[in-house]
Chain A
Amino acid sequence: MTHTLLVIGATSAIAHAVSRRHAARGARLVLLARDATRLEANAADLRVRGAAEVHCIAFDALDIDGHEAALSMAWAAVDDAGGFDAALLAWGSLPDQAACEASVAQALQAFDLNARSVLALLTLLAQRFERQGRGVIGIVSSPAGDRGRASNYVYGASKAAVTALASGLRHRLARKGVRVVTLLPGFVDTPMTAGFAKGPLWATPERVAQDIDRALAGGFGHVYTPWFWRWIMRVVRALPERIFVRTKL
């Protein structure tokens, strides 16, 4: 059976890896992203890989006023199919922590993109899914949101907001036939993290996409990927503050 998937922030490496898995199963895909050229390149890739249909819609997360129009176009693209079986929210950026410490504007900009725009879009998306009365919303957050750390607490705070939004939405929509899953990828080797030295904790977008796919398929997940991040973050959260402040994390 063909299913329909809405991918917002579709040019992110993780989102594209998830889209590829669905394309191979013959899905109908609607992709939203800011960079139209890269989006078209991704769409062509997904068509060759077996997607039944791929639609591209220009979307700028920071243009809050444009969100409703973008979602309307997305729903129009699959109208006859009666909405979406699944939606994946996957945009964001990893801001430079030092720059955020030095500049209010930088810190707010990072927060706007990673948290404020997610709140805005989720509000509209939740209304639509609630009306549909079915489907699953996958939200990419980060283990960095589990506890603020000196090395990236601006990013961490924005993701903490996303994690809380997701869990609240899950709670609200659970009785309306809509599942919401929180996806928490650890270190992933993507263009966003190109500048980092990679170690054994790093995963590929394909590995993470496999977990995301499973989470979208069933359960009310709060899913760390790869799995070991659940245990790492449990330890990080459990450290008492007086010890935590002496660590370098």
Chain B
Amino acid sequence: MSRRVESWGRLSREPHEWRPLTDRKQAAAAIAGGRGLVFGNGRSYGDVGLNPGGTLWSARGLDRFIAFDRDSGVIECEAGVTLRELIAVTLPQGWFVGVTPGTQDVTVGGAIANDVHGKNHHRGGSFGEHVESLELCRTDGQVIACGPGQQEPWFRATVGGLGLTGLITRARLRLRRVPGPWIESEALGFASVAEFVQLSDASLADWEYAVAWIDCLASRDGKLRGVIFRGNHVDDARPLPLRREWRWPFTPPLSLVNGVSLRAFNALYLMRQHAAAGRRMRQPYVPFFYPLDGVADWNRIYGPRGFYQYQCVLPPPDHEAAAAELLELIARSGSGSFLGVIKTFGSRPPAGLLSFPMPGITIALDFPNHGAATLRLFESLNAVVQRAGGRLYPAKDACMPRELFEQGYPRLAEFRAFRDPGLSSQLSRRLLGD
């Protein structure tokens, strides 16, 4: 069946041949001999999950749990299960995912294929570190069970492998014990990149999670306005308050994120956060980890042309200067978003050949799609990333140049040997040539 499919950034809405997978035992046969790409829950921003004009095998229907050991915290499920579904089952038993991205609406398969990270990279690494094993189905009919210490090269290629090594049908995940659904958090303001790094490093000893929001419009001449949020799981017997789910109801004809609304939002938001600065508070895990999930379909506010998310990591030694330069460029362009996120990554070994995290500072920002003007801005940002020896995050990307990808991912040649020749995406054709 033909279906128009868009990714989270809504930059395109091209027809795809849509083939739902619903039975894991038949999934291998369903893709055997075919050409296409596997699609999860559509939370990647750019084109890593798109295959315009070609086949998309939707793995969202592979959404069954297989087994859960409540004592050891190991859960096995099909790859189309979302983190939201998983957490709903495990958290009441005192278990939480070892690493979570900023939305709980990604599938387990997507989290592995993009080797997603969260606010605890120093301690938890990336999602792939918590995978004990997975089953990979290739379009040539091969089925490979792999994991650390078991067909390990396949595993390292598949973690962060952008869905190009095969269909992940199932995975075993190691969860972590938590005292409950509450987070103790603290917010602190900062006024420069150096100050942010200092605060972030100082948080490592006592806080598991740390992430900062920045107001890009206010960052001029080395000045920055930002707030770092740090948090820990905490034991609190109170039941979670009921949370109203909101949905953004329509796509406005123009992006609602423009200079004026941005300034107003950033000023208001940061004022509120500054007011809370230095005070500890307890909040449920959902608003702490997933503030944007509170409004379903929020990606519509950018209007019919959609938006880009730009996420890079800048490694030492020049990470602070490069981050400042990047933010300066964005401030001068005046077209950033109200969501500027800055974090530090620790020095854990990468879980996969093409894993994004590396030691340094990572910055992520949304940009409404203003066509050529936006792309010109990205060129100048890319130059900073390239000079610093950094890389961009494919899960967010829709337009990085091939040289930058090749420079950022030196193990690309090794990875190619594990590709499934039947699988390709718009991103792989753009960045890997096929």
State the A residues within 8 Å of B (CB): 13, 37-38, 41-42, 44-45, 48-50, 191, 194-198
Contacts and interface: CB of A to CB of B under 8 A. Distances in A.
A32 B61 CA distance: 21
Q: Would you list the 9 A-B pairs with minimal beta carbon distance, nearest first? A: A48-B65, A45-B64, A48-B68, A45-B65, A191-B22, A44-B66, A41-B64, A194-B20, A49-B89
A48 B23 contact: no
Nearest to B81: A45
Contact of B3 (A37, A41, A49, A198): A198
Specify the main secondary structure of chain A where it touches its partner: helix
Contacts of A198: 1, 3
Interface residues of B, number: 17
B272 interface: no
A42 B77 CA distance: 12
Interface of B: 1-3, 20, 22-25, 61, 64-68, 75, 77, 89
B58 to A, nearest CB: 10
B20 A191 contact: yes
A196 B20 CA distance: 12
Contacts of A45: 64-66
A41 B27 CA distance: 14
A48 B25 contact: no
22 contacts: A13-B22, A38-B25, A41-B23, A41-B24, A41-B25, A41-B64, A44-B64, A44-B65, A44-B67, A45-B64, A45-B66, A48-B66, A48-B67, A48-B77, A48-B89, A49-B89, A50-B89, A191-B61, A194-B1, A194-B20, A197-B2, A198-B3
Contacts of B66: 41, 44-45, 48
Given A48-B89, A191-B20, A194-B20, A42 B64 contact: yes
A178 B313 CA distance: 64
Contact of A48 (B2, B20, B24, B75): B75
A198 B67 CA distance: 33
Nearest to A43: B64
Contacts of B24: 41
A21 to B, nearest CB: 12
B3 to A, nearest CB: 7
B351 to A, nearest CB: 25
Contacts of A44: 64-67
Nearest to A194: B20
A45 B89 CA distance: 11
